[in-house]
Structure 1
Amino acid sequence: MVRVSKQGMRAMRAITRGAALSAVALVLAGAGPSRNYAVEGTCGGFRATSVGMTDGACMGLVWQGQDQGSDGPKMPRGLLALEGGDWLVSDLGGWEAGKGGLWRLSFDRDRTPQWRKLLSGLSMPHTIARGPGGRIYVSEMNRILTLDIGAADPARTLRTVIGDLPDNRLHDNRHPLSSFVFDTNGDLLVNVGAPSDRCLDRQGRGRADARGRCVEEAQTGQVRRHAYLGDGRWAEDSTVFASGLRNSIALVRHSSGTILQAENSVDLNDPAHPFEEVNVLRQGGHYGWPYCVDMQTPLPGWSAAQSRCNQRDKPVALMPPHAAPLDMLYYSGAMFPEWRGRLLMTWHGYRRTGGRIMAVEVDEAGVPLSDTNGYYAIYPRGALRYPANTPSVRGKIITPRWDNVAGQHPRGTPVVMAVAADGSIWVTDDKSRAILRIARP
């Protein structure tokens, strides 16, 4: 039991009264926790937000849904540029099966957004990508599908490419989203997130099988490989490409063939621990979940014999704790030659390190370069040091001031990025129900 002195009680009451008065003042001033982006002026032809950007860049507002009844996605996530300036946007819809959809975004001559709903009733759709032959592929929670978006009724062209991925009965809403990337030979590499945070029982011990392994390890917390059979077909059966990965929503393939994964690490209450990871995936690799975090640091609940952290694959670099990386792409546009070839990453996290996009320096194989004894920024201001003598991503935050500013903009929750034909970078913000565009001022 924690005892508090009378002086401490008086101080706590004063703080509580001050917080209550501040909250009332914010409401009266109309400066509550709004998710709206205020706009003034222009950013490359779109209305400009006041989000603080790195030199030579601005953030424009393409679209923001103002109420749940208006047209457009309720929770925009995936994004894919189409020929002619249209876009596909996946709509999570909510964290329940059957509420998602797929939208097509086009624009009038005055750039007024126009929405057309192509699919409804989807279960937590996320990734949209072009595959072999140029067809469009979309990931749902428990399957990957394809469709003809040019058809009069795209829903009638819907076809399941890979089914029977784990669904909510297994995941219980912990990490239910599927994402995928095409390998150089056309194989599908598919994320299967872990159904729990750390695979612990109610007593805080590792839920292990007879061999001392996490009971979830055999079928979750992994990236699976589905062999390409040609003609838009993939094997339903899969092999495990890499395991020990809690949540691999962020996957990317470099032109050299390198496969990167950005790990959303375990959810400890400590705001400074553990760190997120960037991993180079290899066939048969095990990257630590649920036994180890950071650079082979054991987690409570597992014995040394079970965790075997020194035998796990190390990350190539760390990212800030709880940053929640959700997307990566190698920038190849013309608008920002200074970023060409760099790895762009979205940090979606709701804690002090989230709400950022970073341009990471990479080598010729697309592997992130790293610093030692580096720092990372936190909101509302300040910086903290990475663990001593550990590698951290080297690069530049291109959205350094995307924290909540009352009456101006919310803290960013960037999800997926896509590069337009002109080299601008489009971004979905799911919590604010917005689509944003990074361009030259």
Structure 2
Amino acid sequence: MESLMRMLLLLLSLLVTPLAAEYRIQTVAQGLHHPWGLVELPSGELLVGERRGRLLRLNTDGSRTLIAGLPKMVSAGQGGLLDLALHPNFAENRWLYFSYSQPGKGGAGTAVARAKLTDTHLSSLEVIFVQQPKTTGSAHFGSRMVFDAQGYLFITTGERYHARDKAQQLDNHLGKILRLHDEGTVPTDNPFINTPHAKPEIWSYGHRNIQGAAIHPPSGELWVHEHGPRGGDEVNIIKAGANYGWPLVTHGREYSGGSIGQGTHLKGMADPIWVWVPSIAPSGMLFYRGELFPHWQGSLLVGALAGQKLVRLTLNGQKIVNEQALLGELNVRIRTLVAAKDGGIYLLTDAANGQLLKLLPATDQ
């Protein structure tokens, strides 16, 4: 029995040691106040958005430049400066997109603007999307933005927490995914453009609070994850016009422990392809296509706030077949993931003294 135990411990060590040694963490920047959005510029410099409403350029020499010109926003609770995205032709046109919680009549709501980026400020600012209606409260603004290969801009929103039933209604933008042209106009093939009283920007509905979005490389489809309540975080493949169920369908429960909706499946509503119970509070996601981690090729990476880890999901086609937890030893809330041009992975940690980290192989390639 003792020799068998020694053999089992040896096998376990052989399994664990390579995993623990497959990556190293480089600290790129510290002292960031609840950083949320991140993009890498063609120059190699980085733009970081702090939720309190500050946009910083992290220069290649290690210095920081505060970028002026942001509009007024509500920096409270989960609101403030949220996601950042570059136009697909940014190198030529300099358009930077950002989502934020916009104040107005009735409270606040998610908005998206774009502006030309210079060395020190934003110019030619245009607000291209305004969520309707605005509501009270400081939770569930979403929001992620992603361009697809055709140049369409997808924007994810939350249902603002206290307005959950509006996620099932097409006359508002709460709990939806929107699809726009790059300048903010509505594509003529959006699914509800001819539906009476529906908001024409809507691409899909029945969402709770989406904070992760990425384009699936082989198919070109939009994949997202969204926060469940007490459990029930979901990964979904987004189809035009589909209803993703919230709050009628969920694997989660009320924070008080009570049930929500009518179960975990209803006819006519799209089912998630992956669910977390209990909740990990997912935020940020990407499909890994770099060369520094060859055995991660095609994996879906997801950050976790409450879970304080990086999750690697292995795919078989469009099915998730395995989950691996990474970076739990850091004990940090991971807000955002961005693929670096060199094949590394940038991570933003959500804290008053947040960090920008870079995930690299344990040894040089």
TM-score over 0.5 (shorter chain): yes
| AA in 2 matched with 1:433 | G
Which residue of the other structure, out of 149, 159, 170, is the alignment partner of 1:184? Answer: 149
Residue pair 1:171, 1:194 contacting (<8 A) in 2 also: no
Which residue of the other structure, out of 35, 46, 50, is the alignment partner of 1:91? Answer: 50
More strand by share: 2
What's 1:346 paired with?
Answer: 303
What's 1:363 paired with?
Answer: 316
| AA in 2 matched with 1:89 | V
Offset at residue 125 of structure 1 (A): 1.9
Give the Cα separation in 1 of the matches to 2:361 and 2:168.
49
| AA in 2 matched with 1:220 | L
| AA in 2 matched with 1:290 | P
What's 1:223 paired with?
Answer: 177
Which residue of the other structure, out of 242, 261, 270, is the alignment partner of 1:313? Answer: 270
| Distance change (3 Å), C-alpha of 1:84 and 1:182 | closer
| Distance change (3 Å), C-alpha of 1:171 and 1:416 | farther
| AA in 2 matched with 1:138 | F
1:59-87 Cα offsets, whole Å, 9 max, x none, are 2222211xxxxxxx422111111223210
Question: Which structure 2 segments of 5+ residues have no match?
Answer: 1-18, 74-79, 102-109, 187-198
| Distance change (3 Å), C-alpha of 1:74 and 1:137 | same
Residue pair 2:158, 2:209 contacting (<8 A) in 1 also: yes
Which residue of the other structure, out of 121, 132, 151, is the alignment partner of 1:154? Answer: 121
Give the Cα separation in 2 of the matches to 1:300 and 1:239.
32
What's 2:222 paired with?
Answer: 259
Give the Cα separation in 2 of the matches to 1:122 and 1:253.
30
Give the Cα separation in 1 of the matches to 2:139 and 2:252.
24
What's 1:115 paired with?
Answer: 64
Give the Cα separation in 2 of the matches to 1:303 and 1:400.
35
| Distance change (3 Å), C-alpha of 1:152 and 1:189 | closer
Give the Cα separation in 1 of the matches to 2:207 and 2:139.
14
Give the Cα separation in 2 of the matches to 1:221 and 1:300.
20
| Distance change (3 Å), C-alpha of 1:323 and 1:342 | same
| Distance change (3 Å), C-alpha of 1:164 and 1:197 | closer
Query: What does 1:18-417 correspond to in 2, within 5 Å?
Result: 54-65=20-31, 73-93=32-52, 100-108=53-61, 113-119=62-68, 120=70, 123=73, 124-134=80-90, 135-141=95-101, 142-149=110-117, 151-160=118-127, 162-166=128-132, 169-170=134-135, 172-196=137-161, 199=164, 218-226=172-180, 228=181, 232-235=182-185, 238-255=200-217, 256-266=219-229, 268=230, 274-294=231-251, 300=259, 302=261, 309-349=266-306, 354-364=307-317, 367-370=318-321, 394-402=322-330, 411-417=331-337
Give the Cα separation in 1 of the matches to 2:311 and 2:303.
7
Residue pair 1:277, 1:315 contacting (<8 A) in 2 also: yes
TM-score by length of 2: 0.75
TM-score by length of 1: 0.63
Residue pair 2:234, 2:274 contacting (<8 A) in 1 also: yes
Which residue of the other structure, out of 345, 360, 364, is the alignment partner of 1:439? Answer: 360
Question: Which structure 1 segments of 5+ residues have no match?
Answer: 1-52, 66-72, 94-99, 200-206, 269-273, 371-393, 403-410
What's 2:11 paired with?
Answer: none
| AA in 1 matched with 2:324 | K
- Alignment RMSD, CA only? 3.0
Residue pair 2:34, 2:51 contacting (<8 A) in 1 also: yes
Give the Cα separation in 2 of the matches to 1:309 and 1:181.
29
Secondary structure (helix, strand or coil) at the match of 2:63 reads: strand
Offset at residue 145 of structure 1 (A): 2.0
1:70-117 Cα offsets, whole Å, 9 max, x none, are xxx422111111223210111111xxxxxx021100132xxxx31101
| Distance change (3 Å), C-alpha of 1:317 and 1:197 | farther
| AA in 1 matched with 2:86 | R
| Distance change (3 Å), C-alpha of 1:334 and 1:223 | same
2:349 aligned with 1:429, yes or no? yes
Secondary structure (helix, strand or coil) at the match of 1:235 reads: coil
Offset at residue 326 of structure 1 (A): 0.9
Give the Cα separation in 1 of the matches to 2:141 and 2:44.
31
Give the Cα separation in 2 of the matches to 1:263 and 1:344.
14
| Distance change (3 Å), C-alpha of 1:164 and 1:400 | closer
Give the Cα separation in 2 of the matches to 1:278 and 1:243.
14
What's 1:10 paired with?
Answer: none
Give the Cα separation in 2 of the matches to 1:156 and 1:198.
35
| Distance change (3 Å), C-alpha of 1:190 and 1:260 | same
Secondary structure (helix, strand or coil) at the match of 1:84 reads: coil
What's 1:377 paired with?
Answer: none
Offset at residue 152 of structure 1 (A): 4.9
Offset at residue 215 of structure 1 (A): 6.9
| AA in 2 matched with 1:286 | N
Residue pair 1:356, 1:400 contacting (<8 A) in 2 also: yes
| AA in 2 matched with 1:369 | I
Residue pair 2:131, 2:174 contacting (<8 A) in 1 also: no
1:97-142 Cα offsets, whole Å, 9 max, x none, are xxx021100132xxxx311011355532222222232232222223
Query: Highest Rg: 1 or 2?
Result: 1
Residue pair 1:329, 1:343 contacting (<8 A) in 2 also: yes
| Distance change (3 Å), C-alpha of 1:214 and 1:132 | closer
Secondary structure (helix, strand or coil) at the match of 1:62 reads: strand
Residue pair 2:131, 2:173 contacting (<8 A) in 1 also: no
